[in-house]
């Protein structure tokens, strides 16, 4: 289908060149409901932890150009039709990098493990943090559970009032500028 490691090798330099940190590259079913696939790219501006629409568009163009260049040189990056989705990780962001587990320590998270550890595969509770490659979460039922970073299938923050309060607000530059447009009325 797609070599995510190879795609990441192509995408990450494009994100870094624009001053962004790559959060995740993932192939997933398209949300358009057409049975197709989507290449989802999540990135963030380290200064804000988000991307605004113009930044998403710039990254999308840059990645498209880089992927087109690789395909013109004979690489088959993705089998079949797909579309590109570039977004900010959002408030209830996925936790994919070691720094995510330290940056968001103290906040509630959901973690799904590849295999059971101490009888648990799905954990939910306060993220304690990461030491080396070992992540610890204070699960609501099991207490403190530690596991290797590579044992994680998926992890994300849970939307809570505390998380909202800790998240930097969206860029509101230009929000105070209101543009009023008069509509022309069609003759009846």
28: CATH: 3.30.300.70
In a domain, 141, yes or no: yes
Q: Supply the pLDDT for residue 116.
A: 95
CA angle 115, 23, 134 (to 5 degrees): 40
Same-domain status, 110 and 145: yes
pLDDT at 158 exceeding the cut of 90: yes
> Order of strands across the sheet with 82-87?
21-29, 37-44, 82-87
Lowest mean pLDDT, pick from 62-76, 77-91, 126-140: 77-91
Same-domain status, 78 and 103: no
Nearest to 49 by CA among 81, 20, 73, 69: 20
Nearest to 43 by CA among 14, 19, 20: 20
* 124 burial via Cβ count (<10 Å: 0-12, 13-18, 19+): middle
For 35, the token pair is: 């049975």
Q: How many percent of the chain have pLDDT more than 90?
A: 71
Structurally, how many domains does the chain consist of? Answer: 2
In a domain, 178, yes or no: no
In a domain, 173, yes or no: no
For 105, the token pair is: 């320590």
In a domain, 93, yes or no: no
Q: Distance between CA 142 and CA 168 in Å, rounded?
A: 32
What is the pTM assigned to this prediction? 0.80
Q: Supply the pLDDT for residue 168.
A: 62
Q: Supply the pLDDT for residue 175.
A: 45
Exposure on the CB side of residue 72, measured as CA atoms within 13 A? 6
Q: Supply the pLDDT for residue 188.
A: 43
For residue 152, the enclosing domain spans 98-166
């Amino acid at each position: 289908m797609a070599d995510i490691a190879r795609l990441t090798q192509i995408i990450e330099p494009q994100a870094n060149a624009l001053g962004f940190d790559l959060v995740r590259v993932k192939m997933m079913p398209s949300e358009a409901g057409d049975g197709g696939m989507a290449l989802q790219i999540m990135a963030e501006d380290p200064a804000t932890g988000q991307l605004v629409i113009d930044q998403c568009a710039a990254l999308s163009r840059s990645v498209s150009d880089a992927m087109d260049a690789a395909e013109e040189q004979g690489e088959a990056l993705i089998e079949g039709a797909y579309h590109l989705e570039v977004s900010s990780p959002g408030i209830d962001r996925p936790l994919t990098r070691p720094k995510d587990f330290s940056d968001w320590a103290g906040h509630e998270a959901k973690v799904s493990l590849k295999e059971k550890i101490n009888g648990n595969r799905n954990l939910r509770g306060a993220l304690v943090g990461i030491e080396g490659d070992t992540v610890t979460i204070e699960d609501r039922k099991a207490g403190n559970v530690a596991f290797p970073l590579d044992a994680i299938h998926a992890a994300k923050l849970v939307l809570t009032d505390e998380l909202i309060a800790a998240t930097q607000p969206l860029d509101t530059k230009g929000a105070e500028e209101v543009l009023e447009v008069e509509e022309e009325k069609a003759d009846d």
